Chains A and B, each alone.
Chain A
Amino acid sequence: MIRSKNLLLYLGLILGLIVSVFPFYWLAVMATRTTPEIYSFPPKLWFGSHLFDNISRVFDSIDFFRTLLNTLFVAAASTVLVLFFDSLAGYTFAKFSFPGKKWLFVLLLATMMAPAQLSLVPSFVIMAKFGWVGSFKALIIPGMANAFGIFWIRQYAEESVPSELLDAGKIDGCGFFRLYWNISLPILRPALSFLGAFTFIGAWNDYLWPLIILNDERKFTIQVALASLNGIYTTDYALVIAGTLLAVIPLIVMFLFVSKQFVSDIAAGAIKS
């Protein structure tokens, strides 16, 4: 009786898992098929033989590696800058006292409630004034220090960076920056790896803002390039699908490396806030 209940429960879990994972399988299957096969009825549910053919057409129609490099550059630069500025600020909030600290932190938390959608239009106007439209600067610089990351690092630093260690460092003649760089940063590594993965994934997948900012095909990030492929090649859908597969794979691979810790940190972050 109890065993059959357990079985039912596993069945439910596996069914849900299939729904979660099936679209990836379906994407991979379609990427190996020709366009008529994709639209055939009944649909082909097993792999075909046109994967390399489709991929080579993707390479012919867009400069895929350039797009990939653009995306990598934007995501990596955003991640490095966010990690640096957020950890420096978060650690400072956690380990030092200075006049107005409490108010500044409350202000920081309050900015998280500032509505992002409001600033879409004026942000674009500012970027135009700076001459940053079409430039990666517009994608990287506005987000290089953010309230969530500072909050996240502060929580972690408060618990994990021992004040005695900082005092000892001070006695040994470490300056403010050395205390941060040589002593605290290594301790913060677990918190940094989550924040880094989170930032990287977000930057990699970002669509609306790059769509508005990037106006030159040579600067497209992968999401913008993908959407434009989807708009242009409506008759060669196998090409679009193969491009989609290529855009999804790098991130999935990266995610699987960090996934275990990442998923529990996401939950921890939600529960803390």
Chain B
Amino acid sequence: MGEPLRQPLEPRQVHAVSAKRKWSSAIWKHRKEYLAISPFYILFAVFGLFPILFSMYLSFQKWDGISEMTFNGINNYRFMLTDPEFWKAVRNTLLIWIYSTIPMLFSALVVAFLLNASFVKFRTFFRIGYFLPNVTSLVAVSIVFSTIFSNNYGLLNYIFSLFGLNPVEWLNHTWGIQLAVSFMVIWRWVGYNAVIYLAGLQSIPSVLYEAAKIDGASGVQSFFRITLPNLRPIILFTVITSTIGGMQIFTEPQVLVGNDGGANGGGLTIVLYLYREVFINNYFGYGSAVGWGMFVLIALFSIFNWKMVQGSGAK
């Protein structure tokens, strides 16, 4: 960089040009930094941003992936909103989300509390054991659980028979399929969420509890006044991630009951519906519209959950 010019009054034009030059020379000076961070932005532009814009365009087209596209107006969206299968997929997805998320987060909280008790030994061992399901492939999990929930001779029906209960044809009922899928989700994610809650519990300063004890607070009181408020951001995080994950469930029902979602389409989730319409039936334009429908649903649902968790803590 040269010596700064010491002219008290510069004509405006010259000033602008020199500012511009300064800017570009500053960028040039840092070219290595820009180069170092550029791969992410390039990849995002090509494989992230462009597809999103392109899917907006596609959602107004009629296209089977091979022949010419034709403009289809809002027909894709109209068809989506009137297709009972789409609404069934929405309903199934929401039900599976409810069946899985509430027990999952509750169990995770319980496990985290148990692990956080001061006298617990082998804490690391327990954490790893509880976390193990989370690193296992969904395809494998679905195959194993299909033998547990198998209609006649499944393991669960055997356990039922020990208690004198009649066997249940799990995979022949909408609710049976949804319970099986939910159970897989719970099994796979309790450990993950418990580990996160545990870290949250451990980050609460113990001074707070000691002070509360001195003031004569009971265990229940300090749970509601100290633990829960301090844990709220973390609970919010787990609710949001499980909402986003829950809306995108695909592998479990697809491996368990196939592309059609099994009996009465009980396992037909939104992503499975989208997959079927696009990659089995070749409705590329329509699939893009479904993608946007799903996006709106996730956004609405995330906002709703966020408000719920925020609101319940405000009192």
Binary flags per residue of B245-271, CB closer than 8 Å to A gives 1, else 0: 001101100110010000000000001
| Contact B291 A252, beta carbon cutoff 8 Å | no
A101's nearest neighbour on chain B, judged by CB, is B33
| Contact B120 A248, beta carbon cutoff 8 Å | no
Q: Besides the contacts A9-B114, A20-B190, A114-B52, what 7 more A-B pairs have beta carbons closer than 8 Å?
A: A13-B120, A23-B145, A26-B144, A122-B50, A247-B140, A267-B195, A267-B196
| Contact B191 A20, beta carbon cutoff 8 Å | yes
Q: How far is the CA of A222 from the CA of B137 in the complex (A)?
A: 10
Binary flags per residue of A223-266, CB closer than 8 Å to B gives 1, else 0: 10011001100000100110010011001100110011001101
CB of A198, distance to nearest CB on chain B (Å): 10
Among A17, A204, A222, A260, the most chain B Cβ lie within 10 Å of the Cβ of A17
Q: How far is the CA of A47 from the CA of B274 in the complex (A)?
A: 41
B248's nearest neighbour on chain A, judged by CB, is A117
* CB of B135 within 8 Å of the partner chain: yes
Q: Please pick, from A96, A230, A270, the residue contacting B237 in the complex, using a CB distance under 8 A.
A: A270
* CB of B27 within 8 Å of the partner chain: yes
* Residues of A bordering B, CB below 8 Å: 6, 9-10, 12-13, 16-17, 19-21, 23-24, 26-27, 30, 38-43, 85-86, 88-89, 91-93, 96, 98-99, 104, 107-108, 111, 114-126, 128, 141-142, 144-147, 150, 176-177, 180, 201, 204-205, 207-208, 212, 222-223, 226-227, 230-231, 237, 240-241, 244, 247-248, 251-252, 255-256, 259-260, 263-264, 266-268, 270-271, 273
Q: Please pick, from A104, A177, A244, the residue contacting B144 in the complex, using a CB distance under 8 A.
A: A244
With contacts A16-B130, A119-B52, A142-B43 known, is A226 near B140, CB below 8 A?
Answer: yes
* CB of B48 within 8 Å of the partner chain: yes
B contact residues, range: 35 or more
* CB of B217 within 8 Å of the partner chain: no
* CB of B139 within 8 Å of the partner chain: yes
* CB of B301 within 8 Å of the partner chain: no
CB of A15, distance to nearest CB on chain B (Å): 10
Q: How far is the CA of A124 from the CA of B277 in the complex (A)?
A: 14
| Contact B39 A85, beta carbon cutoff 8 Å | yes
Q: 15 A–B contact pairs at CB < 8 A?
A: A26-B144, A38-B147, A111-B44, A121-B55, A121-B287, A123-B47, A205-B135, A227-B254, A227-B255, A247-B139, A251-B136, A255-B132, A266-B131, A270-B196, A270-B237
For residues 129 through 160 of chain B, which have their beta carbon under 8 Å from a beta carbon of chain A? 129-133, 135-141, 143-145, 147-148, 150, 152-153, 155, 158
Residues of A within 8 A of B36 (CB): 88-89, 91-92, 176, 180
B199's nearest neighbour on chain A, judged by CB, is A267
Residues of B within 8 A of A259 (CB): 128, 131
List of 8 A-B pairs having minimum Cβ-Cβ separation, nearest first: A267-B199, A119-B51, A122-B51, A98-B30, A142-B47, A145-B40, A122-B54, A205-B137
| Contact A118 B248, beta carbon cutoff 8 Å | no
Residues of B within 8 A of A241 (CB): 143-144, 147
CB of B291, distance to nearest CB on chain A (Å): 5
Residues of B within 8 A of A126 (CB): 46-47, 50-51, 54
| Contact A119 B47, beta carbon cutoff 8 Å | yes
* CB of B127 within 8 Å of the partner chain: yes
| Contact A23 B148, beta carbon cutoff 8 Å | yes
* CB of B200 within 8 Å of the partner chain: yes
* CB of B288 within 8 Å of the partner chain: yes
| Contact B137 A248, beta carbon cutoff 8 Å | yes
CB of A216, distance to nearest CB on chain B (Å): 16
Binary flags per residue of B15-31, CB closer than 8 Å to A gives 1, else 0: 00000000100110010
| Contact A270 B199, beta carbon cutoff 8 Å | yes
B288's nearest neighbour on chain A, judged by CB, is A121
* CB of B79 within 8 Å of the partner chain: no
| Contact B30 A96, beta carbon cutoff 8 Å | yes
Q: Please pick, from B37, B234, B237, the residue contacting A104 in the complex, using a CB distance under 8 A.
A: B37
